[in-house]
């Protein structure tokens, strides 16, 4: 069994261009969300086709894409960080990703995401932190196109609602999750 190490980092507030799949997950009677893998794959394919065709003005040089799960609605957003002055072309939409303290575990490939997410959730509980987001997959730039390394985790706060890692005084601070 792989030992998974969970870390904390600060994800910055950033604008994102995204595609959204409203019913990416099916909620089971137990309340657990089950991924609809074929639909999720199609969403990423459509998003990546748009991204390659339009070449959006990137807002980060260390993150290639985000996968954002909106748990309350069982939706998934395939997103890329964009510059504040960039206007995304249709059918992409834009939003502000709030950023925050990110508890995450590294996954070498897409088939490790569930295990990495489970390891992160267990670590969050053990640390007495509170999740304030759905699952976030922060994909990194990588030269091997067959591999999809990412950091899988959740935005978290302390029990009192404060940030474990407060925002930096400057927006130019590098992201420590890029390896």
Residue 148, pLDDT > 50, answer yes
Give 55-109 pLDDT, tens digit per residue.
Answer: 888 877 677 788 999 877 789 999 999 988 889 999 999 999 999 999 999 988 7
In the structure, what pLDDT confidence band is assigned to residue 142 with cuts at 50, 70 and 90? low
CA dihedral 76, 15, 115, 4 (to 10 degrees): 180
Candidates 3.20.10.10, 3.20.80.10, 3.40.190.10, 3.40.50.620; correct CATH number of 6-157? 3.20.80.10
CA 146 to chain centre: 19
CA dihedral 167, 173, 104, 128 (to 10 degrees): -30
pTM score: 0.83
Report how far residue 122's alpha carbon sits from residue 169's, in angstroms, rounded to the nearest whole number: 31
CB 155 within 8 A of CB 11: yes
Classify residue 58 by burial, with Cβ atoms within 10 Å: 0-12, 13-18, 19+. middle
CB-facing half-sphere around the CA of 176: CA atoms within 13 A: 10
Give 40-60 pLDDT, tens digit per residue.
Answer: 999 999 999 999 899 888 877
Residue 6, pLDDT > 80, answer yes
Averaged pLDDT for residues 107-130: 91
């Amino acid at each position: 069994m792989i030992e998974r190490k969970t870390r904390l980092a600060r994800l910055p507030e950033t604008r994102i261009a995204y595609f959204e799949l409203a019913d990416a997950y099916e909620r089971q009677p137990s309340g657990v969300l089950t991924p609809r893998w074929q639909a999720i794959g199609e969403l990423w394919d459509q998003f990546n086709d748009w991204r390659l065709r339009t070449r959006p003005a990137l807002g980060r040089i260390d993150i290639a894409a985000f996968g954002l799960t909106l748990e309350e609605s069982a939706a998934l957003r395939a997103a890329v960080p964009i510059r504040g002055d960039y206007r995304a072309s249709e059918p992409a939409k834009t939003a502000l990703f709030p950023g925050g303290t990110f508890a995450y575990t590294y996954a070498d490939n897409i088939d490790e995401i569930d295990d990495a997410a489970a390891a992160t959730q267990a670590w969050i509980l053990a640390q007495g932190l509170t999740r304030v987001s759905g699952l976030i997959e922060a994909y990194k730039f990588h030269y091997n196109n067959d591999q999809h390394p990412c950091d899988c985790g959740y935005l978290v706060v302390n029990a009192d609602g404060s940030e474990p890692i407060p925002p930096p005084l400057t927006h130019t601070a590098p992201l420590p999750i890029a390896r």
